[in-house]
Amino acid sequence: MSSSSWATDEPKATLLLERTTLAGDLLIGVGYGAQTVLYVACVQYLWSRRHKKVSVVLLGYLTILFLLESAFVGVQALSIQDMLIDHRNYPGGPWEYFLANQSIPVNIAYYALLFTLTFLADLLVVWRCWVIWSAAGTCTATMVTMFPAVILLGSFVMGISWITASTQPGSSLYDPTPTRYGQAYYALSLGVNILLTILIIIRLSLYQRHMQSAIPLEYKTEYISIVTIFIESASLYSVFGIIFLATYAADDATNTVFLGVASASQAGVLVAPLICCLERGEVFPPETGVQLVDHAVFGNLLRLSKTPSCPCQRLLHLPSALGSESSSIAYDHVLKAEKPSYDVVSAGDIPLSDHKDKPRPCPLIILEIKEYVELYDTAAFNAVRKAGFDGIEIHDANPGYLWSKFMQDVSNYRTDDYGGNGENRVRFTLEVVDAVGPRKTAIRFSPWNDFQVQT
């Protein structure tokens, strides 16, 4: 680069390797800075939710990755210092010193940390793929992720072999045998990431197709957007990993740059956003692969609920929808946005004693009750046939829910076929059950309690 008499007499190819190694170290530092910012933000958020077991587990996982990445950055800096400063006058130059001393502790630690970080990040993506596919059933998710898991196990074996061969006395990262192990390791690691990316995209695409006519666009895009796919699949690492593998196999000097970028993008920059988005419900959470849909308006599924699912992960929750008092309390702004003229309805006009500021409910006439039965039926059909749910739960276990308002004698003073004795008060619920059908249908009851007592 310089014609000065003070310039080194090393070959140009060796000088280029030293320059790119230094550039790679700089990029690792940049990635570490981004990871530190993301880690602090995620820790603050996860710590505020430490009452949840999953938040504690994710916080522990993220902390382990951050500590390993911190150690990796420190070891990388020591390796550069040892090569370029402490042994700059080694015969053949710093790069020859680096190749001749792969077995010293700092270089062994470098390879071990790099391998461990990559493997842990790969494990997270395998788990995410399993969670997303578990919406189709545990057995299906296990079958889908079994082959990627086998590939990941193979990459683990190749990674150990790569580290062992590269750090033997007299050997180096670029000798024929370590190079073959390294190519095999990164090919398997990248292969499993690419395969998992494809599987995640397939599942999200199928999910999108199921929801196409059942859920409004503003709720679909939150779960099936390009950003979601990008975060879920860690595809950024795949891009840089492929470039590194190609340059490493071709013995191109720039491979050291892309090795640093691939490491920073996978274990540093991508994992923290995935975990934070996961906890905030902005990507598929671990409790369920598909979110519950808890309201129905005029035969269309209205909105996605970000609450954890019940053990039957993919049941459509049919509670007091369509303007009941519980709906008004919990989702007043949502219902008004969907239908500004909606009315709060019930079996009668008795208001909730603990929400006297709310308007009195409008008693449903018999014709309206029949219409509501049809709407519940349509919502159930959309959920099972179009959105891919496994079944329907008719939720009648809350005093504020519409069916419960008909069943309870303290809120139902009707004198027609839907009031009076117990047989009449349960008629509305049974008509919905009959309309939805016996297949894939459950119903939930609970004893009377003092929540939302009527007066």
**Which pLDDT band, with edges at 50, 70 and 90, does 353 fall under?**
low
Residue ranges of domains in the chain, CATH in brackets:
12-280 (1.20.1070), 296-445 (3.20.20.70)
Q: Which of 57-66, 171-180, 306-315, 376-385 has the highest mean pLDDT?
A: 57-66
Lowest mean pLDDT among 226-230, 375-379, 399-403: 226-230
Residue 82: the pLDDT is: 87
DSSP sequence for 67-87: HHHHHHHHHHHHHHHIIIIIT
pLDDT tens digits, 90-148? 888 887 888 787 778 888 888 888 888 888 888 888 887 887 787 667 788 889 999 99
pLDDT at 327: 42
More confident residue, 439 or 150: 150
> Quick check: 196 pLDDT over 90?
no
Looking at every residue in the chain, the average pLDDT score rounds to 71
Q: Which two tokens stand for residue 445?
A: 């009851």
CA distance 268 to 228: 18
360-374 residue pLDDT tens: 777 888 877 888 888
DSSP per residue over 421-442, as a string? SHHHHTHHHHHHHHHH-STTEE
Contact 383/389 with Cβ under 8 angstroms? yes
Query: What distance in Å separates the CA atoms of residue 307 and residue 293, rounded to the nearest whole number?
Result: 10
Q: What is the pLDDT of residues 261-277, one digit of tens each?
A: 766 665 555 555 556 55
pLDDT of residue 402: 77
pLDDT for res 148: 92
Residue 426: is its pLDDT beyond 70? Answer: yes
Instruction: Write the single-letter amino acid at 315.
Output: L
Give the tens place of pLDDT for each residue, 139-160.
888 899 999 999 999 989 998 8
Tell whether the torsion through CA atoms of 410, 411, 415 and 417 is positive or negative: negative
Percent of the chain exceeding pLDDT 90 equals 3
Say what the pLDDT of residue 286 is.
41
How large is the C-alpha radius of gyration of the chain?
30
Identify the top-confidence range among 44-48, 145-149, 350-354, 445-449: 145-149
**Cβ density class 380-410: b for 16+ within 10 Å, e for less:** bbbbbebbbbbbbbbbbbbbbbbbbbbbeee
Between 177 and 230, the higher pLDDT residue: 177
